[in-house]
Amino acid sequence: TSQLSSTGRKRRLGFGTKGKSSFTVHRSEEVLPDDIRHLVKQGSSVSSDGEGSQDGDSWAPSLKGSDGGQLSDFIDGLGPGQLVGRQVLGAPSLGDIQLSMCYQKGYLEVEVIRARGLQAKANCKVLPAPYVKVYLVNGKKCLAKAKTATAR
């Protein structure tokens, strides 16, 4: 498992300011066709006491199915609660990222827990310094954005 931060520190990004009215974060969901709905098993890395799992593989869902194939391989790489846009289905995965989100008192905190399996561009001799960009979007309007420092 590769850490996003070489020092082992988690990265935090925050949205919201004091004195500003609060905003609502809506979650969108992709709908799966009935014939592949049985392939996805919902999982969670959060236990009943609210603590996150320490197991590195617990945040990836399980897949059950006999047909395999590209869609199964793609779904196998998704984490709990991870959503997929239709545009992404044609693009290869460039790695996995685990995030934590907490919304309290008008402030949304996004914590980058880890990144793994990051892929470099083809024919690139030097690995890029990874960073995470987060956008807070309401419909088509970007309300706020933040970026972590690069990690080597």
57, two tokens: 């593989």
Every domain of the chain and the residues it spans: 11-147
- How far is residue 149's CA from residue 21's CA, in Å, rounded to a whole number? 28
pLDDT at 10 (0 to 100): 56
- How far is residue 74's CA from residue 93's CA, in Å, rounded to a whole number? 8
**CB contact set of 4 (below 8 Å; sequence gap of 6+):** 11, 97, 112, 114, 115, 130, 132, 148, 151
What confidence tier does 111 reach under pLDDT thresholds 50, 70, 90?
A: confident
14, two tokens: 């925050």
Is there a contact between 111 and 91 (Cβ–Cβ < 8 Å)? no
- How far is residue 141's CA from residue 116's CA, in Å, rounded to a whole number? 30
Give the count of beta carbons closer than 10 Å to the beta carbon of residue 8.
8
Is there a contact between 146 and 133 (Cβ–Cβ < 8 Å)? yes
Secondary structure (3-state) at 42: coil
pTM of the model: 0.42
pLDDT at 119 (0 to 100): 82
Per-residue CA distances from 114 to 29, 41, 69, 99, 124 (Å): 23, 22, 28, 7, 23
What confidence tier does 108 reach under pLDDT thresholds 50, 70, 90?
A: confident
Structure confidence by residue, pLDDT tens digits, 59-106: 434 333 344 455 666 666 666 666 666 555 666 777 888 888 888 888
- How far is residue 83's CA from residue 89's CA, in Å, rounded to a whole number? 11
